[in-house]
Amino acid sequence: VCLCLGVPTVLVANKTDLEIGREVTMEEGQKMAKDLRCGFRELSVAETVLAVEAAVFQLIRLVVDQQRPLPDRRSYMLTVRHALSRKLTRSKTMQW
């Protein structure tokens, strides 16, 4: 699952249990997904619904993650700076 034009997208190929009569190869599907910059999954609803659920949950997770506000860059840099300074201070005090 990836972002295609900023929208969470996955290309899903169904009926993988029917190899005979297949019109699109897995490689063609993967190439199209790569060209579209999105995820790719092959599944068979006839075999299990779990693969469909997994694809849908991945999309939902990506949408939720995309909706979370990004941390302020300055506050992130201050957090990193603070963590680094603590680590450096600790390593200096541990010298023999």
Answer whether residue 96 is part of any domain. Answer: no
Q: Ramachandran region of residue 8, left (φ > 0), alpha (ψ -120 to 50) or beta?
A: beta
> 92 vs 25, which has greater pLDDT?
25
The CATH number for 15's domain is 3.40.50.300
Across residues 72-90, what is the average pLDDT?
68
Containing structural domain, residue 61: 2-70
What percent of the chain has a predicted confidence (pLDDT) above 70?
72
The model's pTM is 0.55
- Domains in the chain, number: 1
Answer whether residue 37 is part of any domain. Answer: yes
| Per-residue pLDDT tens digits for 15-48 | 877 778 778 888 998 999 888 888 888 888 777 7
Answer whether residue 26 is part of any domain. Answer: yes
Answer whether residue 46 is part of any domain. Answer: yes
Answer whether residue 85 is part of any domain. Answer: no
Answer whether residue 64 is part of any domain. Answer: yes
- Rounded Cα distance, 34 and 2, in Å: 10
